[in-house]
Amino acid sequence: MADLDERGLPTTIKDLEKDWAGRAARYLKAELKRADVTYEELASRLNAKGWEETKASIANKLSRGAFTATFFIATLAEIGCSTVRIEDI
């Protein structure tokens, strides 16, 4: 478990990174659900744009919270999300 400061925030860089990675993954999952897009459909859409993704690779990225900013942006673009408010992540 991460050490938290008086505001309930992680105190180490590693814990901060894990916290933000988890937030980003939860945000993407929520946006995919809101857009009614499955991991398989997302893989198909991304592959049509030159990415090499599978349902499993997307599931792994989102479960680990380990993906690039380009994957994050490309995913949001493919599901029609044009605005991201940091306070929503």
In a domain, residue 7? The reply is no
Q: What is the mean pLDDT of residues 28-51?
A: 97
In a domain, residue 22? The reply is yes
In a domain, residue 3? The reply is no
82 pLDDT exceeds 80?
yes
- For residue 26, what are the contacts with CB-CB under 8 A and spacing of at least 6? none
Task: Kindly report whether the global pTM for this prediction surpasses the value 0.85.
Answer: no
pLDDT at 14: 82
In a domain, residue 75? The reply is yes
**Residue closest to 21 by CA, chosen among 82, 80, 71:** 71
Residue range 1-26, pLDDT digits in tens: 567 677 776 678 788 888 899 999 99
Report the domain count for the chain. 1
